[in-house]
Amino acid sequence: MTWWQRPFPDANTLLLHGRQPALVDSGFVGHAEETAAWARAHAGAVDLVVNTHWHSDHVGANALLQAGGAGIAAGAPEAEAVSRRDPGCCAAEYLDQPVAPYTVDLPLDDGQMLRLGDADWEVVRSPGHTPGHLALWQPQERILVVGDALSDYDVGWVNLTLDGPGTAATALASLQRMADLAPRVILPSHGPVPGEPAAAFAAALRRAERLVDDPAGAVWYGARRIFAFALMIRDGIPADAIEPYLHARAWLTDAARLLDLTPEALAHELVTNMLRSGAVLLRDGRLHAAADHTPVAAEPLRVPTRGPGRARGRAERRTEGIRSQSGRPQKDPCRPTSAK
In this prediction, residue 61 carries a pLDDT of 97
Q: Give alpha helix (H) positions in 11-153.
A: 32-43, 56-59, 62-67, 76-83, 92-95
Question: Quick check: 86 pLDDT over 60?
Answer: yes
Question: With left for phi above 0 and alpha for psi between -120 and 50, is residue 228 left, alpha or beta?
Answer: alpha
* SS3 category, 33: helix
Which pTM value belongs to this model? 0.90
In this prediction, residue 303 carries a pLDDT of 79
**Per-residue pLDDT reduced to its tens digit, 288-335:** 999 999 999 998 888 776 667 543 333 333 333 333 333 333 332 222
- Pairing type for strands 13-16 and 22-24 reads antiparallel
| DSSP H or E stretch at residue 187 | strand 185-188
Least-confidence region, from 12-16, 86-90, 110-114, 147-151: 86-90
Mean per-residue pLDDT, 186-199: 97
In this prediction, residue 305 carries a pLDDT of 67
In this prediction, residue 300 carries a pLDDT of 81
**Per-residue pLDDT reduced to its tens digit, 53-75:** 999 999 999 999 999 999 999 99
